[in-house]
Amino acid sequence: MKLLLFLLALPLAAQTVTEALAFLEKAEKELLTASNYAQRASWLQATYINEDSETQAALANEKYIKTVLALSRQATRFDKLTLPSEATRKMRLIKLNLTMATPANDAESSELTKLTARMESTYGSGKYCRDAAADKGKCLDLVQISNIMAASRDPKELADVWQGWHRLGEPMRKDYSRFVELANKGARELGFKDSGAMWRSKYDLPPDEFAKEVDRLWAQIRPLYLSLHAYARTKLREKYGADVVPASGPIPAHLLGNMWGQSWENIYDILAPPNSTKAYDLSKILKDKKIDELEMVRYGERFFSSLGFAPLPKTFWQRSLFVKPGDREVVCHASAWDVDNDEDLRIKMCIQISEEEFAVIHHELGHNYYQRAYNKKPFLFRDSANDGFHEAVGDTIALSITPEYLVQIGLLDKATDPSGDIGLLMKQALAKIAFLPFGLMIDQWRWKVFSGEITPAQYNQKWWELRRKYQGIDAPDRGEEAFDPFGKYHVAANVPYTRYFLAHILQFQFHRELAKTAGCKTPLHRCSIYNSKEAGTKLNNMLEMGLSKPWPDALQAISGKREMDATAVLDYFAPLKKWLDEQNKGKTLGW
């Protein structure tokens, strides 16, 4: 007995570097297997929405999360070792591999994964059923509602469908509150203050320092947004009248052509500069030329091919979802997939033949080409330098969808006159600049929810306070019986959103440097890198790094700088900013 007590009192044998490296090798194999299983189940859940696919996705996701959490806890055994830099980075990445950490308790873990599957499916199958007397009880899905938001100029109809869609969230508040509680418990078990702090820890900076970095970038951009907002408010007031749009307050959310007010390009007809000479409507051109959904995607593939990238694999065309099926519910929100972490690349979207979707396709293919570029790296490095990089790559390509490019690919006979560039820049700003405060505020809200600063009783109130603060938009009569955040896919599906804000900064930083490499002599907004193998090589050099180095290293590889810099955005839109300031003379900026 004395001998047993003596042995139990001895310290555990010290871990060795050899054991740490063996652990990492084993961990990456286990993570690859679990990830592939979860990806396949998630694909089925998103493309065949029913109770069985939800259950399978929840089980697969739970298994993956449990694998990551078990490995994360095992990795702490090696915390005191001095390891090679690559191994040290892998140990850290194991602990940051999730956007949601489930609690160690099996019942709570299962509850959380079922909650997330149910929330995403509720969003994916959501509909607004109009009053039977008004419209024969017709039910509208998000695609149909979005088409109304884009095309209608009747403020009453716009308010009706806007409010109708946002009713989707009302019964989900309790589920979301429980989700936050369980996700925070899992994050704390891994040593993080909460889930928001866990998300912010992924950016090679302390969480609070990263939050300050985001604020710095927004401060660079805010003056341009204020100019665009003031101009838009004036034009909407002229269109809808003083009783609908105020002279100096927030803009009504339902008038901006998009369910979330994150993109204003659908109301370009209202905001177009006087005497704008934009001589083409790409949506109309695509329809007139009878370009179908697959050919839309092939345009995107050919762009990447022109830069020197290999064609997409045959399985991409066989397994992707391009068109909404008529026989089942699917999650139409566009996304790119690397199902086997190797060559099984796919996109999932219900393609509409439009200018907006033409750009979205380039964006999603950017994910796919990034995924393939780093697929020979060790599993833990098969990701982008940070999640903003992944989002930025395709949008960088989309910035090259210029009139000159459209001429090169046969969609335009001749490029538009540069005298009409204010219109062209306005169109871009309504997509890019209008998005920035929305891209920022969603996670500002969630970080505060996760930290407890925003309580469940304040979910909707604080959501709209932040939307007013950052976007300068508002919606009347939104009480706490509503749960408007759930009307956005990324909240329902627990997808971090700051990545999109960062991407809208990085894409211009990337574009400015690639334009130099391509030898562009035109203004930045007119430059297309199409057919530049030199630009393609520089881009690929960054893509191939994956997550193997801190993001400043990857940024330096493509831009020559180690700091994210919004001045490229200001360079791109400089002519528009000057024009907006002239239009806004005597008008109120801000709200």
* Secondary structure class of 367 (helix, strand, coil): helix
Cβ atoms 226, 590 nearer than 8 A: yes
Mean pLDDT of all residues belonging to the chain: 92
The pTM for the full model equals: 0.85
Q: Work out the angle at residue 438's Cα, subtended by the Cα atoms of residues 402 and 61, and round it to the nearest 5 degrees.
A: 100
Residue 5's pLDDT is: 39
Per-residue pLDDT tens over the stretch 235-251: 999 999 999 999 999 99
Residue 289's pLDDT is: 95
Counting Cβ atoms within 10 Å, is residue 420 exposed (0-12), middle (13-18) or buried (19+)? Answer: middle
Residue 490's pLDDT is: 94
Residue 256, number of CB atoms within 10 A of its CB: 26
Residue 4's pLDDT is: 36
b/e code 165-201 from CB counts within 10 Å (16+ = b):
bbbbbeebbebbbebbebbbbbbbbbebbbbbbbbbb
Catalytic residue among 19, 293, 465, 490: 490
Beta-bridged to residue 335, according to DSSP, are 348
Cβ atoms 332, 560 nearer than 8 A: no
Beta-bridged to residue 348, according to DSSP, are 321, 335
- At residue 15, φ and ψ (nearest 5 deg) are -75, 150
Catalytic residue among 28, 301, 364, 513: 364
Query: Would you call 364 a catalytic residue per the annotation?
Result: yes
DSSP 494-515: T---HHHHHHHHHHHHHHHHHH
Query: Would you call 490 a catalytic residue per the annotation?
Result: yes
Pick out the chain residues at pLDDT < 50: 1-12, 133
Residue 278's pLDDT is: 58
- At residue 352, φ and ψ (nearest 5 deg) are -105, 145
Quote the CA–CA distance of 565 and 510 in Å, as a whole number. 10
Residue 496's pLDDT is: 93
